[in-house]
Amino acid sequence: MSRHNFKIVLLGEVTKGRVGKTSLTLRFVKNSFDDHQQSTIQATYLQKELRIGDKTVTISVWDTAGQERFHALGPIYYRNADGALLVYDVTDHDTFIRAKNWVKELRKVVGDDITITIAGNKSDMKNRQVSDEEVAEYAKSVGAVHLHTSAKANRNVDEAFLDLTKRILEKKSSAPSRTELLGKQNSGIIIDNTERRVTRTESRMYGKNGGISVADEPKTTQEQKQCCG
Amino acid sequence: MPKNLLEYEKDHNRLIIALRESKEHGSIMKFLKDKNATILVPHDQSMVLPENRMNVEFVQTHVIHANPEDGLHWTSMNGVKGCFSENYEVLSVLSGPPRGKDLMHFFENESAYLTKSDKKVEIKRIHVLRDSDIDINGTTYRIVLISEPIEYEGCDWSGPSLSAVTTPSTLRTMFSSGPSTPVNTAHEEDPPLASSSSYSTLKRSSSTLSVSSLAGSESDATDISCPPINFSSTKRPANALINELINMHNIPDNKLFSENERTQDKSKKFSFQDFVYKMRHKSAIGLVRKIKKFIFEINRDPYTDDVPNKVVSFLDEIAKEMSVHIQWKGAKEQELDNAREGIEKYVMTKIYSKVFSPTAQDQSQDHLLATRLSSFRKLKPEHLDIASELLTDSSCNQAVDELKKMNNYKTPRDKMICISNCCKIIFNILTRSNPKESPGADAFLPILIYLVMKANTPHLHSNLKYIMDFRNPEKMLSESGYFLTNLQSSAIFWETVDYTNLSINKQEYDKLINGQYFNDDEEEEKNLAPKNSVDQNEELEKATPVIVPDNYLFNKTIDYDDLKKIVDDFSHLNVNVNVDVDEIKIGELRGLFEQYVQFKKFFEQVSRLVEK
């Protein structure tokens, strides 16, 4: 059994309000939302062990400060990151714009090695400002996965982290086992011409929705859990 | 405890050696044989002995005879009474020796033994570590290895009566006034710098020590390790490295391993002592030699940019060798981790002065950053949108102290512990002000940034660089690695900040930051003077008297800042002048010449300043 230790950075704008990245992490790690928990732990660095198939993966989630004045400090945190979870607020379009800028920056600083998930948080709220089509198209164009999450309603929180971790794992293990990969081509794994491996999860998501929004389709996430597990 | 503890003690324990080798204990040996007595052996590191010999009283106190009626109760040869707990895990000392009796006939009197019905006033509880047999000069005796010597009121190996004769207790006194640690963020260890600087005092006090202590002693012959406490060091297979390890580590009191409760990896306790025990074993001699050789070479050769890589690969290599070494056979992951930590601690302490802030560029960057941080000292928490009441909390000072203290530690790990402590104090502050919400980075980072400015840690740039260069890379993904990253980003924030990054308008910014030199009142003038770290002061003391008398300099109107800058630039010069000329080795000449050149430069710069 192999062991892995992945670093995931958590990015989210702070302007008028918060996008809820802290609640999201806390929900994931403690599986409890802020309303009820009495907690003394900090939510800036969290570690959790996940079982993915026969692999044990430890992920360290690094929170970053979202204030505009600290944006220049980002690269210090991205260094050696395997994944990034970009959180925006579905009720605030500006935070989505900011998330897009982050994607650009991540690609510039870390390159294609970093696996990105974009999470539209507060998806339990009615007054959405960001349309599903917009995000789906955008996510697809940058090779990221998009999910609608709600820390409050505990929707898609585990899935967001789990899916990100799986994709990191797949990306990491694809390099040494290319031959194995080629052998499996028939079973539905696609290798695109830039040799980037499109995961089963991704390909199905792309295929099904033309976009990648899984937020309101719990069924899809269920399957997702099994497919790599 | 390591598996080999008992074997180690059998070979090295000074009490056992004394019984084995010393003729003066003949009567004790006879007693042991006749009475079928047991020897209580305080493990070697716990013994601090009066002067350089094994005191007869001390030996007699540790030779015990069990009550034939009740195996748990015992009386020592000089009549100290005590008992074992039912499970033999603990022993209690119940009363001191009778005075003025003929001790050799003590056991012939029935009242010599305690019984269950006796009234017991416990004097001391001691842990039983091992129970075994030992062969001394052909006879087998039972030994019980215990955690510390038996003491009673008035015995001359405990308490203040020692301080007059032994260095360790003097040191212990020094430590009691040492830096205290925050309540909920206890350090796992006592300050290594403090302990090793005390150790250097110790070294200097002994006339046989050579300048490069360990570095020069590639063979076992150069025994630099014999501080007065090792009364039998001439007989023991003296191992310089190991003795140093122990001295470095053992002198501070038992708080050594008190674990930081809030540390996430609670199970991963770091025990330097475990490491030391293993390294003391004969089988580890190859490793020890290799380590010594490496340290010697690093200290000998000029510093180059690939030194950090070299050091880290060496530490990894040694850790790898340890993992297959017989001493670590069957060791769990945590023990191996412990070994890696141990070797890092040891090597880094030994090469610290060489590799910390190694270049002139580092020193000037330190200076620039310190000046810059100092220029922002008038900023208020509001300028970073921190609710100002948060920082009225008294624990802010603690957090600042932790940051400052970082500079006083020598190992990357210890420095990182300071950083983590500071961060945890900040979390406490945040949680106290808002118990419902777990603080995230949005709330945390501004406070850290603000406190970094307030602390203005001496050599901040160099400290950060040193940790990044030398800390075990595997530890960088941990929580403390995260905190380190935050400290780095705080430093970078201050390096690049201007009014656009702050909640302040340009006019006010100019007034506060750029106009400060004109508006300072006297008290602030004092703050403006660059903050001196303890070690800088030490360097100053070491460096200046040789060149120019202090008061001569200051009576003239010399720009203090200029002078301070020069002193800062040369503060890395760490010269031990208490050297016996005859002991200087050829390999050290290069280093000495370099120091000479540095001193010449220093002198020239100071002279230029004086002439100006």
Find the CATH number of the domain harbouring A61. Answer: 3.40.50.300
Longest dimension (CA), chain A: 51
Q: How confident is the model at residue B142 (pLDDT cuts 50, 70, 90)?
A: confident
Q: How confident is the model at residue B195 (pLDDT cuts 50, 70, 90)?
A: very low
Q: What percentage of residues in chain B have a pLDDT greater than 70?
A: 67
* Averaged pLDDT for residues A97-105: 91
- Interhelix angle B589-611/B285-300, rounded to 10 degrees, is 30
Residue B115 pLDDT: 59
**If you measure CA to CA, which chain A residue comes closest to B474?**
A5
Q: How confident is the model at residue B226 (pLDDT cuts 50, 70, 90)?
A: very low
Q: Kind and range of the H or E element at A212?
A: none
Residue B332 pLDDT: 84
d(CA B409, CA A125): 51
Residue B308 pLDDT: 96
Option in B438, B442, B488 nearest A65 (CB): B442
Residues A179-197: tens digit of each pLDDT: 343 433 333 333 333 333 3
Mean pLDDT for all residues in chain B: 72
Query: Residues with Cβ < 8 Å from B272, sequence gap 6 or more?
Result: B189, B245, B249, B256, B341, B342, B345
Across the interface, do A62 and B485 touch by the CB < 8 Å criterion?
A: yes
* Averaged pLDDT for residues A86-104: 91
Residues B74-133: tens digit of each pLDDT: 888 888 888 888 777 788 888 877 765 555 555 556 566 665 556 666 777 788 888 888
Q: Is A4 helix (H, G, I), strand (E, B) or coil?
A: strand
Residue A73 pLDDT: 93
Residues B41-64: tens digit of each pLDDT: 888 777 765 554 577 788 888 888
Q: Which residues of B touch A (CB under 8 A)?
A: 264, 384-385, 427, 430-431, 435-442, 444-446, 476-479, 482-483, 485-486, 488-489, 492-493, 496, 501-502
pLDDT over 90 (residue A81): yes
Option in B436, B478, B485 nearest A77 (CB): B485
Option in A25, A64, A76 nearest B492 (CB): A76
Query: Residues with Cβ < 8 Å from B390, sequence gap 6 or more?
Result: B381, B429, B430, B433, B447
Which DSSP state fits B533? P
pLDDT over 90 (residue A86): yes
**If you measure CA to CA, which chain A residue comes closest to B498?**
A69
* Count of pairs with CB atoms under 8 A, one residue in A, one in B: 84
More confident call, B605 vs B490: B490
Q: Which two tokens stand for residue B133?
A: 């047999």
Q: Which two tokens stand for residue B199?
A: 């150790």
Option in A7, A44, A47 nearest B444 (CB): A44
More confident call, B155 vs A190: B155
Across the interface, do A34 and B501 touch by the CB < 8 Å criterion?
A: no
What type of residue is B357? S
Q: Which residues of A touch B (CB under 8 A)?
A: 5, 7, 10, 14, 18, 21-22, 25-26, 34, 37-45, 47, 60, 62-67, 69-70, 72-73, 76-77, 79-80
Option in A47, A63, A72 nearest B264 (CB): A47
- The minimum CA-CA distance between A36 and chain B, rounded to whole Å, is 9
* Averaged pLDDT for residues A42-55: 86
Q: What is the pTM of this model?
A: 0.56
Q: Would residue A74 count as lying in a domain?
A: yes
Residue B606 pLDDT: 81
Q: Of A49-53, A207-211, B579-583, where does mean pLDDT reach its minimum?
A: A207-211
Burial of B323 (0-12, 13-18, 19+ CB in 10 A): middle
- The minimum CA-CA distance between B482 and chain A, rounded to whole Å, is 7
- The minimum CA-CA distance between B485 and chain A, rounded to whole Å, is 7
Across the interface, do A26 and B438 touch by the CB < 8 Å criterion?
A: yes
Cα–Cα distances (Å) from B128 to B72, B92, B143, B256, in that order, read 13, 10, 11, 20
Residue B501 pLDDT: 86
Q: Which two tokens stand for residue B139?
A: 């006879």
- The minimum CA-CA distance between A194 and chain B, rounded to whole Å, is 31
d(CA B542, CA B537): 8
Across the interface, do A44 and B264 touch by the CB < 8 Å criterion?
A: no
Q: Is B422 helix (H, G, I), strand (E, B) or coil?
A: helix
Residue B37 pLDDT: 83
Residue B104 pLDDT: 53
d(CA B207, CA B579): 9
Option in A21, A42, A76 nearest B485 (CB): A76
Q: Would residue A139 count as lying in a domain?
A: yes
- The minimum CA-CA distance between A193 and chain B, rounded to whole Å, is 34
Residues of chain A neighbouring B478 (CB-CB closer than 8 A): 60
pLDDT over 80 (residue A105): yes
d(CA B229, CA B46): 11
More confident call, A222 vs B379: B379
Q: In this structure, are residues B277 and B4 in contact, taking their beta carbons and an 8 Å threshold?
A: yes
Residue B102 pLDDT: 52
Mean pLDDT for all residues in chain A: 74
Q: Would residue A15 count as lying in a domain?
A: yes
pLDDT over 60 (residue B494): yes
d(CA B43, CA A53): 49
CA count, 13 A, side-chain hemisphere, B490: 28
Q: Which of A7, A70, A95 is the mutation pick for testing B, counting most B CBs within 10 A? A: A70
Residue A125 pLDDT: 84
**If you measure CA to CA, which chain A residue comes closest to B431?**
A40
Q: Would residue A77 count as lying in a domain?
A: yes
Residues of chain A neighbouring B483 (CB-CB closer than 8 A): 45
Domain count, chain A: 1
Q: Would residue A222 count as lying in a domain?
A: no
Q: Which two tokens stand for residue B229?
A: 């406490």
The Cβ of residue B565 has, within 10 Å, a number of other Cβ atoms equal to 18
Long-range contacts of A30-33 (CB under 8 A, 24+ apart): A31/A154, A31/A158, A33/A151, A33/A152, A33/A154
Across the interface, do B441 and A63 touch by the CB < 8 Å criterion?
A: yes
**If you measure CA to CA, which chain B residue comes closest to A13?**
B442
Across the interface, do B438 and A22 touch by the CB < 8 Å criterion?
A: yes
Which DSSP state fits B514? I
Q: In this structure, are residues A144 and A118 in contact, taking their beta carbons and an 8 Å threshold?
A: yes
Q: Quote the strand ranges of A39-123, DSSP E.
A: 45-52, 55-63, 83-89, 115-121
Q: Would residue A181 count as lying in a domain?
A: yes
pLDDT over 90 (residue B500): no
Q: What percentage of residues in chain B have a pLDDT greater than 90?
A: 25
Q: How confident is the model at residue B164 (pLDDT cuts 50, 70, 90)?
A: very low
Helical segments of B441-588, H only = 441-455, 460-470, 479-496, 506-509, 516-519, 522-528, 534-547, 550-555, 560-569
Cα–Cα distances (Å) from B73 to B76, B83, B108, in that order, read 10, 4, 16
Domain that holds residue A22: 2-210
Which DSSP state fits B97? P
Q: Which of B419, B431, B433, B438 is the mutation pick for testing A, counting most A CBs within 10 A? A: B438
- φ/ψ of residue A41, rounded to 5: -75, 155
Longest dimension (CA), chain B: 93
Q: Would residue A179 count as lying in a domain?
A: yes
Residues of chain B neighbouring A38 (CB-CB closer than 8 A): 435-436
Query: Residues with Cβ < 8 Å from B537, sequence gap 6 or more?
Result: none
- The minimum CA-CA distance between A185 and chain B, rounded to whole Å, is 35
Q: In this structure, are residues B166 and B50 in contact, taking their beta carbons and an 8 Å threshold?
A: yes
Residue A122 pLDDT: 87
Residues of chain A neighbouring B445 (CB-CB closer than 8 A): 65, 70
pLDDT over 60 (residue B547): no
d(CA B498, CA B511): 13
Q: How confident is the model at residue B515 (pLDDT cuts 50, 70, 90)?
A: low
d(CA B419, CA B424): 9
Parallel, antiparallel, or unpaired: how do β-strands A145-148 and A115-121 relate?
parallel
Residue B139 pLDDT: 80
Query: Residues with Cβ < 8 Å from B59, sequence gap 6 or more?
Result: B15, B18, B19, B25, B28, B77
Q: Would residue A229 count as lying in a domain?
A: no
Q: In this structure, are residues B125 and B151 in contact, taking their beta carbons and an 8 Å threshold?
A: no
More confident call, A204 vs B277: B277
**Rounded (5°) CA angle B573-B579-B585:** 90
**If you measure CA to CA, which chain A residue comes closest to B478?**
A60
- The minimum CA-CA distance between A156 and chain B, rounded to whole Å, is 21
Across the interface, do B440 and A80 touch by the CB < 8 Å criterion?
A: no
Which of A14-28, A29-43, B316-330 has maximum average pLDDT?
B316-330
Residue B529 pLDDT: 40
Across the interface, do B492 and A7 touch by the CB < 8 Å criterion?
A: no
- The minimum CA-CA distance between A121 and chain B, rounded to whole Å, is 16
Q: Which two tokens stand for residue B426?
A: 């900040």
**Rounded (5°) CA angle B349-B354-B360:** 140
Residue B451 pLDDT: 96
**If you measure CA to CA, which chain B residue comes closest to A46?**
B479
Q: Which of A69, A80, A89, A98 is the mutation pick for testing B, counting most B CBs within 10 A? A: A69
d(CA A106, CA A211): 22
d(CA B402, CA B420): 9
Residue B77 pLDDT: 81
Option in A39, A47, A67 nearest B438 (CB): A39
Q: Which two tokens stand for residue B612?
A: 């100006």
- The minimum CA-CA distance between A195 and chain B, rounded to whole Å, is 29
What type of residue is B250? N
Residues B417-476: tens digit of each pLDDT: 999 999 999 998 998 888 877 888 999 999 999 999 999 999 999 999 999 999 999 889
More confident call, B482 vs B264: B482
Q: Of A94-108, B254-268, B521-535, where does mean pLDDT reach its minimum?
A: B254-268
